[in-house]
Amino acid sequence: MRCYLTQCLLLCGFVCLLGTNVEAASLYGKVIEVDSGDVITIFNLNRPVRVKLLGVDAPELNQEFGDVAQKHLSDLILEKSVLVEYWGIAADRSLTGRVLLNGTDVGAQMIRDGVAWFDQNNQNRLSVGDREIYQQSELVARNERRGLWQQENPIAPWEFVKAEARKPYPVVSLNSGADSIKARRSGSDTELTNLTLMTAGVDAPARRYSSRSEIQAAWESLTASNKNLHELRPAGQNFSVLVPEEGRHISVPIPYGDEMVDVNMHIARDGGNVYSVYWLTGPSFGETDKMAMEEMVLKVIKSFHQKYEVGDRSQFFCGKQREHDVSMNGYAGRDFDLSTCSLPTRARAFTKVIDNKREMYVGIVFYGDDDANVSRFIKSFTAGRKKAQN
């Protein structure tokens, strides 16, 4: 399987969201459940695996035609063995990929039968030929007024989700049970993705925002939890950093080909700022250190911004204002100043490959208040058993 470790972690959605220069992996399994018109569960290697159909967006289950789309997909593939071509695994162990039944593209069939839209916001993993097939399948279904296209003005699922998000929904606790977090559809705003795992236990607003100023105001309105930093130096790890007290540690095992990679996260809040540290060790396939660090940092940031969404998620932008080398003690290292993001961000990353295994340490702070702790956190983050400096 040819895939960068960080790309496999961040389909996540790290819910999510991989680069374009990687080959697809595949797995084979029997469809044991059809969760919606674009999400299924297959049984592979003695475990269930949730799969989102790539490039397909079916009506929500609570939307008109949602139940029809779910039944149609069920009629097509339930209890049948399918091949899934995918490019990464999210923190909730779900996949996004093409689903093939005896060589037939199930996603294209769903679109052609008029029970789903071609999801152009999620098409970057389709080949040019497949993209054309999906586009033409929707065009033909529209012209023939098949399925949902019999309606005069069918509402696209992404528009329906936006409208639903404007309603005053109660915040759902991650501890409230599996039913409460079951996705209405695939996407960062409804699904237990890597992002909800990352922000578990962090007192941050779980809603959409329409402008950067609104986001900034929300973050600045958070009550300061503490201003004291203490050293985080996990046993057996080769890094040290100063973080706010009373943080939350999360460890997520990620299936990666034939291996399981443990992704560790430490999340803490200090007033309007969220501090996060990630560490992991997994296979390397020849990617450069710089590429691996940039991939990890930018994908995590994009996932975070999709939760606190500003406008259309397809228009996400987070340009690097400054970047410089901070390599030390045999580790390649980079500092990233991303203050132009919708939520200003600073990050530092270190990586090293030993015996074809890549060690990765990343620290990221999303800040509403650019106080002294932001710089202290970044400057204290060191690799190679060097103690963090106060």
- The pLDDT of residue 221 is 46
Examine the pLDDT at 275 and tell me if it is beyond 50: yes
User: Per-residue confidence at 319, pLDDT binned at 50, 70, 90?
Assistant: low
Examine the pLDDT at 224 and tell me if it is beyond 60: no
Q: Could you read off the pLDDT of 340-369 as tens digits, one per residue? A: 776 788 999 999 999 889 999 999 998 876
CB atoms within 10 A of CB 213: 9
CA distance 265 to 248: 8
**Residue 332 to residues 185, 288, 361, Cα–Cα distance (Å):** 39, 10, 10
- The pLDDT of residue 307 is 53
* Mean pLDDT estimate for the chain: 75
Examine the pLDDT at 219 and tell me if it is beyond 90: no
For the chain, what's the residue count?
390
CA distance 101 to 124: 22
Examine the pLDDT at 226 and tell me if it is beyond 90: no
**Nearby residues of 179 by Cβ (< 8 Å), 6 or more positions away:** none
> Cβ(117)–Cβ(57) under 8 Å?
yes
Q: Which residues of 86-96 are buried (b: 16+ CB within 10 A; e: fewer)?
A: bbbbbbbebbb
> Cβ(69)–Cβ(110) under 8 Å?
yes
What does CATH list as the number for 17-162? Answer: 2.40.50.90
- The pLDDT of residue 316 is 52
CA distance 255 to 49: 10
At the second CATH level, the architecture of 193-383 is: 3-Layer(aba) Sandwich (3.40)
- The pLDDT of residue 252 is 74
Q: Report pTM.
A: 0.47
What's the mean pLDDT in 185-204?
34
Considering only CA atoms, which of 97, 105, 293 is closest in space to residue 186? 97
Q: Which of 10-19, 52-61, 260-269 has the lowest mean pLDDT?
A: 10-19
Please compute Rg for the chain using Cα positions: 21
> Cβ(29)–Cβ(81) under 8 Å?
yes
User: Per-residue confidence at 240, pLDDT binned at 50, 70, 90?
Assistant: very high
β-bridge pairing 273-283 and 259-270: antiparallel
What's the mean pLDDT in 163-170?
63
- The pLDDT of residue 271 is 73
DSSP 167-194: S-PPPPPTTS-HHHH--SSSSTTTS--H
β-bridge pairing 56-57 and 81-89: unpaired
Examine the pLDDT at 16 and tell me if it is beyond 50: no
> Cβ(366)–Cβ(202) under 8 Å?
no
> Cβ(177)–Cβ(196) under 8 Å?
no
Domain ranges for the chain: 17-162, 193-383
Q: Which of 8-22, 259-273, 318-332 has the lowest mean pLDDT?
A: 8-22
DSSP 310: B
Q: Is the dihedral of CA 257, 258, 259, 265 positive or negative?
A: positive
User: Per-residue confidence at 305, pLDDT binned at 50, 70, 90?
Assistant: low
Examine the pLDDT at 154 and tell me if it is beyond 80: yes
Instruction: Name the 3-class secondary structure at 112.
Output: helix
Instruction: In the chain, count H helices and then E strands.
Output: 10, 18
Examine the pLDDT at 137 and tell me if it is beyond 60: yes
More confident residue, 35 or 90: 35
Q: Which of 26-30, 42-46, 171-175, 368-372 has the lowest mean pLDDT?
A: 171-175
Q: Long-range contact list for 165-170, CB < 8 A, 24+ apart?
A: 165/189, 165/207, 165/208, 166/208
**Within its chain, how far is the Cα of 282 from the centroid?**
18
Give the rounded percent of residues in the chain with a pLDDT score beyond 70: 68
Q: Could you read off the pLDDT of 67-112 as tens digits, one per residue? A: 999 999 999 999 999 999 987 665 556 788 899 999 899 999 999 9
